[in-house]
Amino acid sequence: MEDLLRALTSSDLAEIVALTLRVTGIALIISTIIGAPLGALIGLSKFRGKSFVRALLYTGMGLPPVVVGLFVYLILSRSGPLGSLSWLFTPSAMIVAQIVIALPLTTGLTMTSVESVSPELKRQIAALGATRSQAAWTILREARIGVTAAIVAAFGGIISEVGAVMLVGGNIAGQTRVLTTAIVLNTRQGDFSLALALGLILLILTFIVNTALMKLQGR
């Protein structure tokens, strides 16, 4: 218990939590900015190849995160297409990996929530004299709970992510060590109390997120 308290008040821990929130926060904001409008656009429109885009999104959601991590690693590695950025083993690399994991989620879930707005309401909106962009905006507002749920689900997914983040971040103390990777490292070094403290914080964060998610989904 004393160990746990010591661990909870250590400055390392504050640093790890801060980095975790920064990486996941930035990744979430970017994947929301891209994913929510894109998902809304796809959900609102009919076009050839839509089922292909849909299948692609599902594949993106189903890919093992470690594989995503390897993608990002290859792209950012010195000989990769974006190697000149020297992002590998920096927080930027972790942000990129989390964006790639979160983007199919925010896009796909926004798409389904926009699509689930009833056709009757869509017809009524047009009959009340909405232009196309007015109708799109109204439908997106109607789907706001689903869109929020998409963002929350993405947050829960990427803050818990271990493999991809370890792969591209390298788990360097003080630089790329986040909650999940720190839990792995401390457990393997036998420092259970710090691992527990970190696990507790991660649990609390995901608990808050999941409670919010269930509230949103009305369960």
Residues 75-114 that bind other proteins (CB under 8 A): 75, 80-81, 100, 103-105, 107-109, 112
Q: Report the residue number, 91 or 156, with the smaller CB distance to other proteins.
A: 156
How many residues at the interface with other proteins, by CB under 8 A? Answer: 85
Any contact of residue 189 with other proteins (CB under 8 A)?
Answer: no
> CB of residue 173 vs other proteins: minimum separation in angstroms?
17
**Residue among 32, 166, 169, 176 that touches other proteins (CB under 8 A):** 166
DSSP state of 83: G
- CA dist 122 and 126 (Å) reads 6
Q: How far is the CB of 202 from other proteins (least distance, A)?
A: 5
Position 143, amino acid: A
Give the 3-state secondary structure percentages of the chain, helix then strand then coil, rounded to 5. 80, 0, 20
The residue among 21 and 63 lying less far from other proteins, judged by its C-beta, is: 63
Query: CA geometry: angle at 210 spanning 142 and 202, to 5°?
Result: 140
Residue 66 DSSP class: H
In the complex with other proteins, the residue whose CB is nearer, 39 or 91, is: 39
DSSP state, 145? Answer: H
**Cα four-point dihedral sign 76, 103, 53, 45:** negative
The contact pattern for other proteins, residues 38-57, with x = CB under 8 A and - = no contact, is x--xx--xxx-x---xxxxx
How far apart (Å, rounded) are the C-alpha atoms in residues 124 and 139? 11
- Listed ranges 5-13, 19-27, 191-199: which one lies at the site for other proteins (CB under 8 A): 191-199
3-state SS, residue 82: coil
Contact letters for other proteins, residues 121-160 (x by CB under 8 A): xxxxxxxxxxxxxxx--x--xx----------x--x--xx
Which tokens in the block code for residue 192?
């259970």
Does position 27 interact with other proteins (CB under 8 A)? The reply is: no
167 binds other proteins (CB under 8 A): yes
Asked if residue 193 binds other proteins (CB under 8 A), the reply is no
Which helix (DSSP H) or strand (DSSP E) does residue 211 occupy?
A: helix 192-216
Contacting residue, 10, 59, 86, 189, with other proteins by CB under 8 A = 59
Distance of CA 8 to the CA centre of its chain: 26
